[in-house]
Each structure stands twice: as C-alpha cells, then as structure tokens.
Amino acid sequence: MTDEELVDALKALAHPVRLRIMQALTGKERNVGEIDDAARIGQPTLSQQLAVLRNAGLVKTRKDAKLVYYRIDQSRMAKVVDAAGALGGLSENSERQPRQPAPGVANFAKLS
C-alpha cells in the first residue's frame, strides 16, 4: 500500500458516517438497504459515502440481481491497521528502539 493509498483510506475512515457504515459491515456482508437499516443514514447520503469507501478500497461489492452487497476488504483493512499501529509502535513489523537518556540532562521520568 502506497502512502497516498494509506492517506486516502485513513481519510475515508475519519468521517462519522463512513465509520458507522464500516461498523455496520463488521463481520457481515450487507446490501444497501440492510446497511441503511443498521446505520440509519438515509439513501442519498449512504450512496455517496459508500462510493468514498469503494474508492478508498476499504469495501468490496458483489451484485446479485438488483441488489449490491458490500463487505469490508479484510486484506486492505489489515494493511491500514498495521500501518497505523506502526506509528505507535504497536505493529508486529515495527521495531521499537529503547530510548537512552541524553547525557548531561536531568532525567526525571523513566524512558521506555
């Protein structure tokens, strides 16, 4: 995932309506009507926000007759979570270096 793709994904998640949509999709595949029922957003807004999530690559779609089903793209979401976790040293891929006190400076707090 490029930095630009990561930024787009984080921007997409950083919106209250889109976050509610993602929460409604957690662990489930739902059609638009089911997402609307679960998230209580309203059809025009829901369609716009689903398009943003699709463009960011956070959801996948499947069409069945006239219904479009949405689900979270697990592999893409895992990359976003891993990248965000790396910022806080929480990722499996991040190597946290222990901090050393600066020489000649009083150190009152334990550095980790």
3-state secondary structure of 97: coil
Task: Give the pLDDT confidence score for residue 89 in this predicted structure.
Answer: 73
19 has a pLDDT exceeding 90:
yes
15 has a pLDDT exceeding 80:
yes
Task: Give the pLDDT confidence score for residue 85 in this predicted structure.
Answer: 86
For 70-102, what is each residue's pLDDT tens digit?
999 999 999 999 998 888 776 555 455 566 666
What are the distances in angstroms from CA 21 to CA 7, 45, 77, 110? 19, 11, 14, 42
For residues 94, 11, 44, 50, the Cα torsion angle rounded to the nearest 10 degrees is -30
Domains of the chain: 3-85 (1.10.10.10)
For 41-64, what is each residue's pLDDT tens digit?
988 899 999 999 999 999 999 999
Task: Give the pLDDT confidence score for residue 90 in this predicted structure.
Answer: 65
Task: Give the pLDDT confidence score for residue 108 in this predicted structure.
Answer: 64
